[in-house]
Amino acid sequence: MNGHVIVVDLGYGDAGKGTIVDWLCASACRPVQAVVRFNGGAQAAHHVLAPDGAPHPFAQFCSGTFTPGTRTFLSRYMLVDPLALVAEAEQLARKGVPSPLGLVAIDRGALLTTPYHRAVNQARERARGDGRHGSCGMGIGETAAYALDRPDDAPRGGDIDSPRKMHGKLERLRDKALADIAAIEGTVPMTLPRAADLATVYREIFARVTLAGDGYLTGLLRSGPVVFEGAQGVLLDEWRGFHPFTTWSTTTFENAEALLAEAGASATRLGVTRTYQTRHGHGPFPTEDPALHVPEKHNKDGRWQGQFRVGHLDAVALRYGCEVAGGVDAVALTHLDTAERHAGGLRICRSYRIDGEVHAAITPGPHRDLSYQQDLTTTLLKARPGYDDTERLAAEDWPGAVAEILRAPVVIRSRGPGREAKTTRLLAAMSR
């Protein structure tokens, strides 16, 4: 791989983006200059095997960090949690990565996720009870919502240059958080860190990373290959996902391509999918099958996210995800080892039955029309999967089947989390 690549999960997340990014960085013909994180925040958990064989759930550091010299750039579209970044750096240092924070650059415009956002997020989710949206409880949605409501008060990376400005923003944010928590019925009073103390800690953290401004990414792109690592999945997109069971983040290729366009560059669009479907928490999942026994070491029921759910591959939803993402140039297909273990047992849903009618496609609505997405969610909660009872796929059938569904070649095949479990048939587009 000599060119730039954008890695996006076409489903509900957890398809193995991290292992694909790790492999791309380790196997590139020319060293990857950096991996750019272009959506989400510290709630990501991209599991990659460290050199000692133990897994690491990459959150804000890029999934290519175990390849020496690979830098992480947290773009302006990232919601950066400085405290979580330090905690992850300490984990990586114990796993042999020297001076992890020295590998990180943070865009001046990146929003900061604070303990105040996290406290409000968790209070709201507790109050929702059985009506939870599937939050990770890490303040991501609160960070985005506060910035929309009070754009001038939202703390950003560049505010670190002005201690007075940073302190003032944190003070106002803390006051708002305490008021919001007090207004939530049944919530007990909480003690939150003082704004002055938090501002001091942030200054210490930012002294150990690079604060990046205009031109930083352009320089990286001109120096060699850059990988853009997405978080979550297209079916959870804030505008195209099944509202309200979505994330406060654009999970398509959109943010990455905006960054590339500013630098006059382009990249290969690499979509990632499994040989079966998974989802955390509530929301539509037509192909969910409780009888499908595929336990996963790193995916469990979560306190905030809720139940970890498993089902068969949903070609209808996968095509929808690909369409609203603008299409893909190539596909990385993961969990082929599961297809081998369950030969003939994993199925593909090619249509839905809804209120007695058969539907072979999900029709995208107008962009940023949440009312349409809400109606779509209501409809999909009633959908039942349609399978061809004569179709029984062997492991070797899956790449061809997925390529047909997405109308793009499967160029990376993964049979496990390690680099050695990946094989490739690289396109010319991925070597430009």
- Per-residue pLDDT tens digits for 18-34: 999 999 999 876 789 99
Type of residue found at 174: R
> For residue range 408-417, what is the model confidence (pLDDT) as tens digits?
999 999 999 9
CA 257 to chain centre: 16
Is 322 exposed, middle or buried (CB count within 10 Å of its CB: 0-12, 13-18, 19+)?
buried
Owner of token pair 């006051």: 175
Residue 382: CB atoms within 10 A of its CB come to: 12
232 assigned ligand-binding residue: yes
Type of residue found at 342: H
197 assigned ligand-binding residue: no
pLDDT value for 383: 98
Whether 14 is a known active-site residue: answer yes
- Examine the pLDDT at 301 and tell me if it is beyond 60: no
Predicted TM-score of the model (pTM): 0.93
Q: Contact 107/168 with Cβ under 8 angstroms?
A: no
* Average of per-residue pLDDT across 185-207: 90
CA distance 379 to 359: 11
289 assigned ligand-binding residue: no
9 assigned ligand-binding residue: no
* Average of per-residue pLDDT across 224-237: 96
Tokens in use for 384?
């039942």
* Average of per-residue pLDDT across 79-88: 98
Per-residue pLDDT band for 329 (boundaries 50, 70, 90) equals very high
pLDDT value for 428: 47
Tokens in use for 159?
């505010």
Q: What is the mean pLDDT of the chain?
A: 92
* Catalytic site residue from 46, 47, 117, 282: 46
Tell me what percent of the residues of the chain surpass a pLDDT of 70.
93
- Examine the pLDDT at 66 and tell me if it is beyond 50: yes
CATH class, domain 5-107+213-431, is alpha beta
- Examine the pLDDT at 429 and tell me if it is beyond 50: no
Whether 298 is a known active-site residue: answer no
- Examine the pLDDT at 125 and tell me if it is beyond 90: no
> In CATH, what number does 111-210 get?
1.10.300
CA distance 222 to 414: 30
In the chain, residues under CATH classification 1.10.300 are: 111-210
pLDDT value for 131: 59
Which uninterrupted H or E stretch holds 386?
A: strand 384-386
Nearest one of 138, 147, 132 to 120, comparing CA atoms: 138
- Strands 268-273 and 330-333 turn out to be parallel
CA distance 243 to 235: 10
CA distance 67 to 74: 18
In the chain, residues under CATH classification 3.40.440.10 are: 5-107+213-431
Tokens in use for 34?
């950096």
As separate numbers, helices (DSSP H) first and strands (DSSP E) second, the chain gives 12, 21
341 assigned ligand-binding residue: no
- Examine the pLDDT at 132 and tell me if it is beyond 80: no
* Average of per-residue pLDDT across 55-69: 96
Which uninterrupted H or E stretch holds 71?
A: strand 71-74
Tell me what percent of the residues of the chain surpass a pLDDT of 90.
81
Nearest one of 107, 106, 31 to 70, comparing CA atoms: 31
CA distance 252 to 234: 6
- Strands 277-280 and 308-311 turn out to be antiparallel
Computed over its alpha carbons, how large is the radius of gyration of the chain? 21
> For residue range 343-383, what is the model confidence (pLDDT) as tens digits?
889 999 999 999 999 999 999 999 999 999 999 999 999 99
CA distance 57 to 9: 16
- Examine the pLDDT at 155 and tell me if it is beyond 50: yes
pLDDT value for 298: 61
State phi, psi for 182 to the nearest 5 degrees.
-65, -25
* Average of per-residue pLDDT across 215-243: 96
416 assigned ligand-binding residue: yes
pLDDT value for 190: 77
E-strand stretches of 123-280 = 210-212, 226-229, 268-273, 277-280
Nearest one of 71, 16, 24, 23 to 45, comparing CA atoms: 16
With H, G, I as helix, E, B as strand and everything else as coil, classify residue 226.
Answer: strand
Q: Contact 294/338 with Cβ under 8 angstroms?
A: yes
* Catalytic site residue from 14, 22, 107, 159: 14
pLDDT value for 431: 44
